[in-house]
């Protein structure tokens, strides 16, 4: 009995030691909101909560990766200094005059004129155009994607890369080690045998300590061909039904002009961060007669700030008339939630377009916990029905659009490497509004009264899921 008593006392002491250590340690290493979630978990199950926090609680990257990103950012800023003819200066007293300087300081890229932007809203057609551009490439093909599956789409992309390599095109492929695990397992060796260079990004296993926290991911979707064409958006390299029961709807921008060089620079930066190899990036790119102004916004834990969150919040704050946000995952932090509330209460027409179906159950429950507050302050919420709406974009008034891979959740803001492209152009915003109207035509519009009539057990489920927002 004495031994059992001593053992119980020892375990109780360890239990409380973990709780007290976490109380003083965790708040100093993470945001208050995230700290509350982790302290709650550690308080309930200390022996489980502490190991989980050590693995997933702090979005750390290796010092070498942070150093390489800083080096890449410096090169990008220096190279742009001599391109004054391409720089666009926004008119004073406009929304762009507030947003563009912030985005440049955060993500390094200046706004450039002389671009063309084609929005591709059809899944299969977008892939066909992408493969056609691979087949048309003469010097270089660079692909950077979060997800690639071993399915007919993967087969078609690989076949086009092998054809390109056979005619002497230099092909490089970067794929996220987790998101593209199936594609890497099936295609990496055949591609290498054909002369295509393939690297996985943020690898796990025994190599994870040389990269960063195990669940940090590169979520970007970028393609660059020669100096002529680039792609940025939400679409991965897989069939739309790669998650059974959730066929995806996406939005991709096919671009020409100086922005292609900027996409090339993002690819070269990620290549350097993963491999240590510095790629030669062409300095001059053909200017398009369309003369659309664009600006890239890369973000991720290698940067000093949460670029995506800060830029999105700035766009919300500058909106004066209409703001439309489309995202598959909506788990905002306090700053973003506050920005949306202020915009709606200030009289801005704020429309949030989400997917009625969702392949992430916990995320879906958590995002539902925000609906009551948003509806109460005047935010309109529409749930798109026909597909899993995986597109990620935002439009501000008639002048600014943001298109890319950025979700409106804490994971995209703090943990993933993401890419967005801002377009300061009424024509692009008008085209995007047509896409948004198409979503709304097939959507269920929520009302505050109907939402509050949901069962109590759903409210409880939403509240519990929301406590886990920092773990998503």
Q: Which of 390, 399, 425, 469 is catalytic?
A: 390
Q: Which of 142, 219, 387, 393 is catalytic?
A: 219
Residues in the chain: 472
306 dihedral zone (left: phi>0; alpha: psi -120 to 50; beta): beta
Asked if 317 is an active-site residue, the reply is no
Strands (E), 169-278: 170-176, 197-201, 221-225, 229-233, 248-249, 252-256
Asked if 219 is an active-site residue, the reply is yes
Strand partners, 330: 408
Sign of CA dihedral 162, 270, 113, 250: positive
Q: Pseudo-torsion of CA 314, 316, 319, 324, nearest 10°?
A: 140
Asked if 262 is an active-site residue, the reply is no
Do 331 and 367 meet the contact criterion of CB atoms below 8 Å apart?
Answer: yes
Q: Which of 142, 199, 317, 392 is catalytic?
A: 392
The DSSP call for residue 91 is: P
Asked if 221 is an active-site residue, the reply is yes
The token pair at 384 is 């798109």
Q: Which of 215, 349, 397, 442 is catalytic?
A: 397
Cα distances (Å, whole numbers) of residue 121 to 170, 221, 361: 29, 15, 26
Q: Which of 226, 310, 399, 409 is catalytic?
A: 226
Distance CA 23, CA 25 (A): 6
Distance CA 96, CA 115 (A): 17
Name the phi and psi angles at 195, rounded to 5: 100, 5
Do 92 and 291 meet the contact criterion of CB atoms below 8 Å apart?
Answer: no
Do 388 and 248 meet the contact criterion of CB atoms below 8 Å apart?
Answer: yes
Q: Which of 221, 262, 387, 393 is catalytic?
A: 221
Residue 75, classified by CB atoms within 10 Å of its CB into exposed (0-12), middle (13-18) or buried (19+), is: middle
Asked if 181 is an active-site residue, the reply is no
- Rg of the chain's alpha carbons, rounded to an integer? 23
Asked if 128 is an active-site residue, the reply is no
Do 126 and 235 meet the contact criterion of CB atoms below 8 Å apart?
Answer: yes
Residues designated as active site = 219, 221, 226, 390, 392, 397
């Amino acid at each position: 009995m004495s031994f059992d008593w001593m053992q119980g006392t020892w375990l109780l002491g360890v239990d409380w030691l973990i709780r007290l250590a976490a109380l003083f340690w965790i708040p100093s290493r993470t945001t208050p909101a995230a700290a509350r979630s982790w302290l709650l978990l550690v308080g309930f199950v200390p022996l489980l909560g502490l190991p989980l926090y050590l693995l997933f609680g702090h979005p750390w990257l290796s010092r070498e990766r942070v150093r390489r990103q800083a080096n890449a950012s410096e090169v990008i800023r220096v190279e742009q200094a001599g391109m004054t003819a391409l720089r666009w200066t926004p008119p004073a007293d406009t929304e762009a005059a507030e947003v563009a300087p912030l985005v440049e300081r955060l993500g390094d890229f200046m706004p450039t004129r002389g671009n063309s932007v084609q929005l591709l809203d059809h899944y299969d057609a977008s892939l066909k155009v992408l493969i056609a551009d691979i087949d048309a490439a003469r010097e270089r093909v660079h692909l950077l994607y979060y997800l690639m599956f071993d399915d007919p789409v993967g087969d078609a992309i690989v076949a086009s890369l092998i054809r390109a390599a056979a005619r002497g095109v230099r092909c490089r492929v970067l794929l996220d080690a987790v998101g593209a695990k199936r594609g890497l397992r099936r295609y990496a060796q055949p591609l290498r045998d054909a002369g295509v260079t393939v690297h996985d990004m943020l690898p796990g296993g025994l190599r994870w300590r040389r990269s960063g926290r195990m669940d940090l991911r590169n979520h970007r979707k970028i393609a660059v061909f020669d100096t002529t064409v680039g792609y940025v958006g939400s679409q991965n390299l897989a069939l739309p039904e790669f998650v059974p029961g959730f066929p995806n709807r996406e939005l991709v921008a096919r671009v020409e002009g100086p922005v292609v060089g900027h996409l090339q620079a993002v690819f070269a930066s990620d290549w350097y961060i993963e491999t240590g190899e510095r790629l030669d990036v062409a300095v001059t790119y053909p200017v398009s007669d369309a003369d659309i102004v664009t600006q890239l916004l890369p973000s991720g834990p290698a940067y000093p700030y949460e670029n995506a969150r800060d830029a999105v919040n700035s766009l919300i704050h500058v909106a004066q008339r209409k703001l439309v946000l489309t995202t598959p995952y909506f788990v905002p932090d306090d700053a973003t939630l506050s920005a949306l509330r202020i915009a709606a209460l200030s009289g801005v027409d704020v429309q949030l377009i989400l997917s009625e179906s969702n392949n992430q159950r916990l995320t879906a429950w958590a995002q539902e916990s925000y609906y009551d507050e948003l509806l109460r302050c005047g935010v309109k919420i529409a749930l798109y029905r026909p597909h899993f709406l995986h597109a990620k974009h935002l439009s501000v008034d008639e002048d600014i659009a943001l298109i890319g891979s950025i979700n409106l959740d804490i994971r995209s803001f703090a943990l993933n490497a993401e890419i967005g492209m801002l377009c300061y152009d009424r024509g692009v915003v008008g085209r995007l509004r047509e896409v948004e109207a198409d979503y709304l035509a097939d959507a269920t519009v929520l009302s505050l009264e109907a939402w509050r009539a949901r069962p109590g057990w759903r409210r409880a489920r939403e509240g519990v899921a929301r406590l886990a927002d920092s773990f998503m």
